[in-house]
Amino acid sequence: MALPVRTSVVNRVMIYNIGYASALNAGDLGDFSPVTLALAVHREIPAYHGKEGNLKAYPIFSAPLPVPRQAREVHMSTHQVSGAIHVNNVEVLAISTSSLVQIGSIISIRSESRIKHIRQLLRGLRPK
């Protein structure tokens, strides 16, 4: 599949926060495949010992990804009146992990974000 040849004309973009492996793209894009693997540890007493975080110890990081069922083939024809995409104003609060804000065409996107959250709480103490 070939991308249409167009120009993306954007007047103003305001993005307040872009997360890991994320992007803003104005213009056409062939492929976007961001991957994020993260281990998020929350401890009541923040003590870190240096070489923590072996992702191989957690099956979530090596499990096969589910593949969505193939959609039925769609036949479509388009007629471009203008050779440009015109966008006046885009305001985005946050682009999260392995995400994309795209102004233009894209052939394929395959995003992957795997995050293991661990909470290590003290036992036997009443919460304050």
Q: How far apart are CA 50 and CA 40, in angstroms?
A: 15
What's the pLDDT at 46? 81
Q: What is the pLDDT of residue 111?
A: 92
Contact 6, 78 (CB under 8 A): no
What does pTM read for this prediction? 0.72
Whole-number pLDDT of residue 82: 79
Q: How far apart are CA 74 and CA 90, in angstroms?
A: 30
Q: Tell me the C-alpha distance between 48 and 39, whole Å.
A: 13
Burial class of residue 22, CB neighbours in 10 A (0-12, 13-18, 19+): buried
CA distances from 19 to 7, 9, 35, 64, 96 (A): 27, 25, 12, 24, 5
User: How far apart, in whole angstroms, are the C-alpha atoms of residue 96 and residue 21?
Assistant: 9
According to DSSP, residue 5 is labeled -
| 116 burial type by CB count under 10 A (0-12 exposed, 13-18 middle, 19+ buried) | middle
Domain segments of the chain as ranges: 1-47+54-62+85-128
Q: Given this model, what pLDDT does residue 12 score?
A: 96
For residue 48, the model assigns a pLDDT of: 78
The rounded average pLDDT for each run of 10 residues, N- to C-terminus, in the chain (128 residues) is 77 94 91 93 82 88 88 78 87 94 90 91 69
Give the pLDDT confidence score for residue 127 in this predicted structure: 60
